[in-house]
Structure 1
Amino acid sequence: MTTTPALTTSSGDLPSSIPAATRAWFLEQRPTGQPTTSDFAIREVPLADLEDGQILVVNEFLSVDPYMRGRMSAKKSYIDPYEVGAAMDGPAVGRVLASRADGFRAGDHVFHGLGWREHAVLDAAAVFKVDPTLAPLSTYLGVLGVTGVTAYIGIERFAEISDGETVYVSGAAGAVGSVAGQIAKLKGAGRVIGSAGSDEKVAQLVEQFGFDAAFNYKTRPIAEQLAEAAPEGIDVFFDNVGGEALEAAIGALNIHARVVLSGMVSQYNDEPVTGPRNLWNLSVTRSKLVTFMVTEELDLQPRFLEEAAGWLATGELRSQETTVEGFENTLDAYFAMMRGENTGKMIVRL
């Protein structure tokens, strides 16, 4: 154990010294198709001494997300891939153990991007404080975090919902989809429909998240069930899945509809893809298909936080998390999330 003169302490249970090393998940090799446990390993790594402007954080909650599958591959994407033989990273919330940065002291809670490890040395400019008295810390990785703002941006900026319109959300029981459907309703949608992968999730969409209708995409063709749920067609499709769901939605578009591509989880493991084979219908209906990158739209984040905090306080916006306990189980949480076994945000609690 080593200590640093810059260490700050409080009257709580913070230690008076800091560890010299921590554990982190490493990418051992690039997965082919669906990742397996042999592609990853936990290793101990040294922690650098704090420099001016840096803080040491002990992580308390880690996020696992679909986009991470793309980072495991070498192909070009909107974010740099993980390096083979190097520690992985991702969103996390933790508590400051030591600080050599103005404005941060031991005991503060922060959101940052060095998850998949137990401790992290960070530049203070790369983190922001979160308030555990306003909302549980885990929500800053979910409904108040990247997934929540993703849903908000997609609906508020790109869905362009008019009062009374019909919205269909695929992957609707997931972290982004469950929030997108609720925000669509709050922004004036007349009818919100969701698809999910189990009867239990379908019931939760209607009973907990306030969707007007939902169906299990595994039981019958999506196009058939969507036609029953939206016999007059759909005006907005918020897509987290791609493949069959996207093809079905394109076939159900009304005139001047909008398709918002948020994710393509059906393709993240390079599986064979069904459709869409009907792109011409975008032209027939004069519909718009858009995609976006959250980091390019963060001018909406302050408004999102203000509105979302208000909706949470009144109960108009509900969130649910699936929590896996223990750092050693981070990879299991990721696998379960990719299999669709979570409802709402998948969180790892350390």
Structure 2
Amino acid sequence: MKYVRMPIETESPEEYGYGRIRYNLSESSVADQTLAGLNLQIPDLKLLYGEHRGGASLRALIAGDNTGVSVDDVLVTTGAAGALFIIATALLSSYDHLVVVRPNYATNLETPKAIGCRVTCVDLLFEEGFAIDFDKLAAAITPSTKVISVTCPHNPTGVMYSEGELHGLVELARRHGCYLLVDETYRDLSFGRTLPLAASLGSHVISVSSLSKAYGVPGIRLGWIVTKDAHLQQLFLAAKEQVSICGSVIDEWVGEQILARRAAILEPTLAEMRSRLALVTEWIANEACLEWVAPSGGVVCFPRMRVEPAGGTDAFYRRLIDVQGTYVGPGHWFEMSDAYFRLGYGWPTRTELEAGLKGISMALRG
């Protein structure tokens, strides 16, 4: 493994310093929760080694009422990042080939590269609504392709596939003898109809998700892998046992309480995020310097500058933070031009979001 720190991490608000940011629009989740806000008080838990797969009651809640998926199809991991690491290191080598859509969450690109896996990126184009081009995707597949990797709802654009497109991806992977990896971290933040759990559509499909983004608890580091392939379950379990043995009993307890009240937590969250999206939509409509592909899920969008801002993009980002105190995720976090930026509208307060949007408009003009 040849690790390289990712720009999205080296330039993260945690590294840059929250004290230097007034309006943080770079985050990709809803606002961080507290135990008190969730009405939780951690009991006197025994701090033992937990069940290696994750607690059975927690895995049952994750499996939920998804047709054809059972508790045995779920492996609890250390966040979605841990899930993606397990999948990449278990399935990919320098002899394998990965096809991945881009832009994408950096881990979906960088961990395979660190392994030495050959990676082909299929670029999603603004002009095509960041939609998957199935012809380009199929053309990128080779006899050594092991995994096709996509995200839905998409990070950083917020674009979602239709159910027909999801089934098309499942069939494309099946036809070519590949695994289909679907990062579904934002699935519970879909503004229309929630798509079927991808892993329920075939034993060659692997779903990854976590509680970090939709539930605002990234600090408990709880995610999961879902696959109906029993061999893959054993392989991923072996990888988890060599990395961490099991998860934290505290994290799993908190996660279980949240998922037991999933609907009650999500309903007001989704209502608020729809309202936030309407606010951003109105701002974009009145901001002549920007254009976008409107998102339909998640809490991020990926606007593009129509023309170069005064002094160029570097000057824009300096003005944005130094003068306006506003932070966004520049395009290079996602191997894209800095004419794009990821804007997160779920994490700041509504007042901070409005001030940050105003700051972007002012910084664009010099």
Normalising by the residue count of structure 2, what TM-score does the alignment of the two structures yield? 0.34
**Structure with the bigger percentage of strand:** 1
Normalising by the residue count of structure 1, what TM-score does the alignment of the two structures yield? 0.35
Q: Which has the larger radius of gyration?
A: 1
Q: Tell which has more relative contact order, 1 or 2 (C-alpha 8 A, sep 6+).
A: 2
